Amino acid sequence: MCARISNLRNTCGLFIHKTPGIKLRKFQNNTAAMSTIEDAKKLAAYQAVDDHVKNDYIIGIGSGSTVVYAVERLAQKVQKEKLSVLCVPTSFQARQLVVKHRLPLTDLDVSPKLDVCIDGADEVDSRLTLIKGGGGCLLQEKIVASCANKLIIIADYTKNSNKLGEQYKKGIPIEVIPMAYTPIQSHLESIYKGQFALRMAVNKAGPVVTDNGNFILDWKEFDQNLDWAKVNQGIMMIPGVVETGLFVKMVERAYFGMPDGSVKVQDA
């Protein structure tokens, strides 16, 4: 296999403002305010790929709208820099993105140890605790992330909050075995405040079915001051719960594309 490149040069022309724990990075050739959230997503994704993808890497490819730009940037680097990489997708959508860009696929059976996983998030708090699973891929996303040496999150500025629930109002997803969703729903409502609603499909009758054949309960109107590590552990102990959309102490770094054309970098 090709030798690893230890220090990839930054090809985007950036300058860095250094502050404790948080960095703001801005494209030198982009002085105007960014016009759309899509621009912010692209900026964060491109910077994360430039910073964390090296030759001979096995990369977890997350799901969601921001990851589209990460795969786009990865394909550019593979073509221009002749990088040798392998991709492990977290969902059917992620796999289709990898196939579309003609990047090589592998899986955890063949490659159980990943160098990095790049994924999006529905919301990120000040401690880099995440809500993920708005697209229903939380189980496979967490499995792939757990196999990576580091999890890197990419998002636009609307996903950056001080506390979970400040901006994202669709709830914390909990993936459950279909036969158990009613008792689980009742049990959760007896322990925690808020609502636990079965996620319903939009273009079909009935509930959303995940890639793993399960249902999702969305926990809405929750207390923002909970200890998320304890909550996650408690929910996972309920028989029939498959996984939660709480990602606690898993993230090494998060990139947020900002309205002014900068990238906010938040470290764990």
| CATH number of the domain residue 89 falls in | 3.40.50.1360
Q: What is the pLDDT of residue 18?
A: 34
Is this model's pTM higher than 0.95 or not? no
Segments forming the whole domain that contains residue 83: 14-162+249-267
Catalytic residue ranges: 141
The CA distance from 162 to 154, in Å, is: 17
Q: What is the pLDDT of residue 221?
A: 92
Residue 109 shares a structural domain with residue 138:
yes
Give the CATH number, domain containing residue 205.
3.30.70.260
Residue 227 shares a structural domain with residue 146:
no
pLDDT tens column, 188-206 = 999 998 999 999 998 889 9
Residue 85 shares a structural domain with residue 210:
no
Residue 129 shares a structural domain with residue 74:
yes
pLDDT tens column, 45-93 = 999 999 999 999 999 999 999 999 999 999 999 999 999 999 999 999 9
Residue 195 shares a structural domain with residue 80:
no
Residue 67 shares a structural domain with residue 148:
yes
DSSP the chain: -PPPPS-PPPSS-EEEEEETTEEEEEETT--SPP--HHHHHHHHHHHHHHHH--TTEEEEE--SHHHHHHHHHHHHHHHHH---EEEEESSHHHHHHHHHTTPPB--TTT---BSEEEE--SEE-TT--EE--TTS-HHHHHHHHHTBS-EEEEEEGGGB-SSTTSS--S-EEEEE-GGGHHHHHHHHHHHSSSEEEEPBPSSSSSB---TTS-EEEEEES--TTS-HHHHHHHHHTSTTEEEESEE-S-EEEEEEE-TTSEEEEEE-
The answer to the question of residue 209 being in a domain is yes
Residues near 261 by beta carbon (within 8 Å), at least 6 away in sequence = 26, 27, 30, 31, 32, 33, 34, 43
State the amino acid at position 91 in one-letter form: S
Question: Could you give the number of structural domains in the chain?
Answer: 2
Contact 43, 263 (CB under 8 A): yes
- 186: its two tokens: 């009742």
Residue 142 shares a structural domain with residue 260:
yes
Provide mean pLDDT across the span 139-143: 97
The answer to the question of residue 167 being in a domain is no
The answer to the question of residue 5 being in a domain is no
Indicate whether 166 pLDDT > 70.
yes
Residue 93 shares a structural domain with residue 203:
no
Residue 102 shares a structural domain with residue 38:
yes
- The alpha-carbon radius of gyration of the chain (Å, integer) is 19
The answer to the question of residue 229 being in a domain is yes
Residue 230 shares a structural domain with residue 260:
no
**What distances in angstroms separate CA 191 from CA 73, 113, 148, 185, 223, one per listed residue?**
44, 37, 33, 10, 12
Provide mean pLDDT across the span 131-148: 96
Residue 131 shares a structural domain with residue 109:
yes
The answer to the question of residue 2 being in a domain is no
- 23: its two tokens: 């960095």
Q: What is the pLDDT of residue 256?
A: 98
Helix axis angle, 37-52 relative to 65-81, nearest 10°? 40
Indicate whether 160 pLDDT > 50.
yes
Residue 240 shares a structural domain with residue 253:
no
Indicate whether 2 pLDDT > 80.
no
Residues near 35 by beta carbon (within 8 Å), at least 6 away in sequence = none
Contact 160, 121 (CB under 8 A): no
pLDDT tens column, 222-236 = 999 999 999 999 999
